[in-house]
Structure 1
Amino acid sequence: MSAQLEGRDPSTLPPLGFIAIDITFHRPRGDPWNPETWPFPLIRVQAEGSTEAEVVRKGSYDPGFLDRFVEAGKRLVEQGCVGIITSCGFLIMAQHELAARLPVPVSTSSLLQLPSIFAFLPPSKKVAVITYDDSRLGEEHFQQVGIPWTSVYVRSPPAGGPLRRVIADGGKYVHAEIAAELSGVAKQLLEDHSDIGAILLECTQMCVCAEEIQASVGPGVPVYDAYTNACWFYSGLVRRRPLAWGPPDT
C-alpha cells in the first residue's frame, strides 16, 4: 500500500480502471480483479470477446482485438477512472497502442517494471520472470521496454498444474497448491541460476502468492508483480499528503 494512502477512507479517492479478459474463474483477494485487493476504489470491465488464447499469443495483436480493449477503456474513462491497468502481463504488446488511444494513463503489464528493477540491481544480476506460459512469453515482449532477452530467465508452471487449470479450465482454486507450485518454480530458478537478483511475476493471478514465493527464496531477493506495479502507478496518479506528515508547516 502506498504510504500516502494509509489510513484514508478509500471512498474518498478516485477509482483506478481495470480491463480484464472475457473469461470467468475464481479471483481471491490479492487478484487484481477483486476490488478488496486494492487500497483505492477499482472499477472493472471485461474486453468483450477476448480470450486467454488471444492474449498470450506470440507476436502483435490483431486490430480487432486491440479495438475491444480500447472500447473497454473508454467505458472506464466515462465512469471516471484516473488511469487503467489490465489483467495480463502479455498485454505489454498492447501498451503503446492503448496509451496512444486512451485519454488517461495506461499500465498494461507488470513487465513495465523491468527497467527500474534492473536499475536497482548490480550489473552482473539478471531477473527471473515467472510467467503463465514460457512457450509464448518471448523476446518481443521484453523489447517493448528495451530489455535484452539475454538479461532475463523465463519459466512457467506446467500446463497441467494448479494455476493453469484454474485459469484455462475453470478448475477449483486451492491457494496452498498454487503457492507451492509457484514457490517451487522460484526455488528451482535460483538453484539453476546463481546470478538472479530479483523475481518478477508476469501473471496477475500470481500476486496472491508473492509472500510465499519470497519466503521460499529468502528476503534478499525482491519480488515484484502486478500489485507492486499498480500501486506505484496509482501513487503518481493521485497524490495525497501522507497523514503522518500532519498539516503543512506555517
Structure 2
Amino acid sequence: MTLQHSRPLGILCLERGGTPSKSRPGSILHPTTFSFPVISDIVEGAWADVVIRGDPPLESAYVAAARRLVEQGAVAISSNCGFSMRYQSSVAAAVNVPVALSSLLLLPTLLRQLPVRRKLVILTADSSCCDEALLGIEDPAQRARVVIGGIEGGKLWQNEMVRPPPYTETSEIEADVVACLGRLQVAHEGVAAILCECTGFPPVASAIRRITRLPVYDVTDLCRMTMASVA
C-alpha cells in the first residue's frame, strides 16, 4: 500500500552557497522519490566538509532550521547528510515531531536482523570521519560485525569539498561506490547487508543491490518509515 500524506517531511539541507540544488531521481529531495510532500531549509554554515568533520559546532543552526520547518508544517524531520547524526539528539529535543536525521539510526535494528556471525557494511562518504560516536555501538561483539567503507578521494567526495559544490553525475557516484565495494569484498567475508550513510547513495541503491545481491538500506527507507508513523 502506497503511503499518501498531505503534510510534509522537513529536510535539513547542507549549504550550497546560494546555487540551486539539482536533485537526482531517487534522492531524498527529488519530487518523485516519495508519495508525500517534502519541504526543506538550509542549515546556516553546514557545508559538507564541516558537517563531515564535525567542526565547528552547528547545533544551534540545526535546531533553528528544524524549528522553522515545523513552523511551516513539517510533521517529521530528516536531513540530506548522514553525518547530521551528530545533531540528532539536539534536534529531537528541540521539536515536537519525530526526528530521523541519518540512516545510521537503523544500525542497531539491522544488526539484530542478521545472523550473529554475519556482518553489515556501512557505505559512507568518508570512512575516516565515520567515528564511534556516530555509530553508537558499545558492545564490542556487535561493533566487530560492522564494516565501514568510504568513497573519500572519489568524485563525489572531491566535489562536496568545494564551495559551492559542483554537481556530481549519478554515473560518477556509482563508479565511486562500485570501487569501494570491490575493496570491501576483497577484505571481508560474511557480509549480509549494506547500510548507506551518505544521502548521495540512494540514486544508486538499485545498482548496489544488483551487484551485491544483498539487502541495501538508505535514508529514504528511514524517511518512509518515519512518515508512516505519523500518517
Q: Tell me if both proteins adopt one fold, taking TM over 0.5 as the criterion.
A: yes
Aligned residue number for residue 207 of structure 1:
202
The 1:196–1:28 alpha-carbon spacing in structure 2 relative to 1, beyond 3 Å, is: same
Q: Which amino acid in structure 2 is aligned with residue 19 of structure 1?
A: L
Give the counterpart of 1:47 among 24, 43, 57. 43
Q: Which amino acid in structure 2 is aligned with residue 153 of structure 1?
A: V
Aligned length: 225
Q: Following TM superposition, by how much is the alpha carbon of 1:213 offset from its aligned partner in structure 2, in angstroms?
A: 1.1
Q: Which amino acid in structure 1 is aligned with residue 148 of structure 2?
A: V
SS at match of 2:200: helix
Q: Following TM superposition, by how much is the alpha carbon of 1:146 offset from its aligned partner in structure 2, in angstroms?
A: 7.1
Could you give the per-residue CA deviations for residues 201-248 of structure 1, whole angstroms, max 9, x where no partner exists?
101011100011111112xx110011111111111121xxxxxxxxxx
Q: Following TM superposition, by how much is the alpha carbon of 1:145 offset from its aligned partner in structure 2, in angstroms?
A: 8.5
Q: Which has the higher helix share?
A: 1
Aligned residue number for residue 170 of structure 2:
175
Query: In 2, Cα distance between the equivalents of 1:146 and 1:83?
Result: 30
1:92 touches 1:144 (CA, 8 Å); kept in 2? no
% of aligned pairs identical?
30
Larger Rg: 1
TM-score (normalizing by structure 1)? 0.83
RMSD: 2.1
Give the counterpart of 1:195 among 182, 185, 190. 190
Structure 1 residue runs without a partner (length 5+):
239-250
Shift >6 Å, 4+ stretches:
144-147
1:236 aligns with 2:221: no
1:139 aligns with 2:132: yes
2:67 touches 2:94 (CA, 8 Å); kept in 1? no
Aligned residue number for residue 69 of structure 1:
62
Could you give the per-residue CA deviations for residues 62-108 of structure 1, whole angstroms, max 9, x where no partner exists?
2xx11111111111111111110012111212111111111211001
Aligned residue number for residue 83 of structure 2:
90
SS at match of 1:106: coil
Q: Which amino acid in structure 2 is aligned with residue 90 of structure 1?
A: F
2:11 touches 2:80 (CA, 8 Å); kept in 1? yes
